Amino acid sequence: MTTTIALAGKGGVGKTTVAGMIIHYLAQTQSGAILGIDADPSSNLNMVLGLDLEWTVGDIREDMLAQVRQSLMQSGAAMGSLPGGITKAEHLDYEIRSSLAEGDRFDLIAMGRGEGPGCYCAVNHNLREVIDAIGGGYRYVVIDNEAGMEHLSRRTTRDVDHLLVVSDPTQRGILTAERISAMRNELDIDIENTYLILNRLPGEMPAPLQSRIDEIDIPFLGVIPASAELAEFEFSGRPLIELGDESPVYQAIAEMMGQVLGS
């Protein structure tokens, strides 16, 4: 059985850092392989994980559509076909599996650039089916979603076991997290559990912020402290998964994931 964990939150709150550390935690403590899905067009989860990224799903999609258009112009072939008679689904399955960035006990698919002009409905349907089929072979799937929630159901038809909404330690951040969480009921996928995580808190929790957190309808999972060590990693470009297990950031995420997974 696959457990799917998705992260959401406004831009700049550190979702990608949290996603990478969750993948690191799962690789350290849980059995089974892990698939990371970088659904943010900026595609930098690979840097957090220390993986080279050469090919994204966006690149594959655009290349495939170019082949289909060329075939259509040359021979009038059906839009469902590619040169050589291969189907779009078969082509996508092969290309996406070939594009996987492989790490130690975890792999990564990057969605990459957004859609250009033209109709993407059919190919996006094929993409969801292929990515969900690939994800079914992993014990855990961790999705680093772009800001907001509206794109999540376009990336997967898979139900989400745990949605982690990440906020910075501000009143505006908490309000945005609350609005993002409210959108979960509008998606075409089911979300079993939703939690709030407060990231980069310097020092103790301010009382007004705690009061605001207590008011919202999202279970509060915990705090990730601000970290000078993590900032140094960011400045130097070192993969964040190289942070030692004694790091307060890793320890905070490990404690929260232990609660989420019941381990």
The pLDDT tens digits for 75-86 are 554 455 565 667
Q: Residue 64 has what pLDDT?
A: 78
Pairing verdict, β 106-110 and 101-102: antiparallel
pLDDT at residue 111, as a whole number: 86
**Amino acid making up residue 153:** S
pLDDT at 121: 62
pLDDT at 155: 67
Give the C-alpha separation, 184 to 192, whole Å. Answer: 10
Q: Indicate the domain borders of the chain.
A: 3-261
Task: Report the pLDDT value the prediction gives residue 123, as an integer from 0 to 100.
Answer: 65
What are 137-189's pLDDT values in tens digits? 999 999 998 877 766 766 676 789 999 999 999 999 999 999 988 888 888 88
Confidence (pLDDT) at 131: 87
The answer regarding whether domain 3-261 maps to CATH 3.40.50.300 reads yes
pLDDT of residue 116: 56
Q: Which two tokens stand for residue 55?
A: 């090919």
pLDDT at residue 23, rounded to an integer: 97
Helices (H), 76-199: 88-99, 121-135, 152-155, 171-182
Decide if 164 contacts 34 (C-beta within 8 A): no
Residue ranges in the chain modelled with pLDDT below 70: 43, 68, 71-85, 113-123, 150-151, 153-155, 157
In the prediction, which pLDDT does 158 show?
76
Sign of CA dihedral 188, 191, 194, 199: negative
C-alpha 233/C-alpha 219 separation (Å) is 30
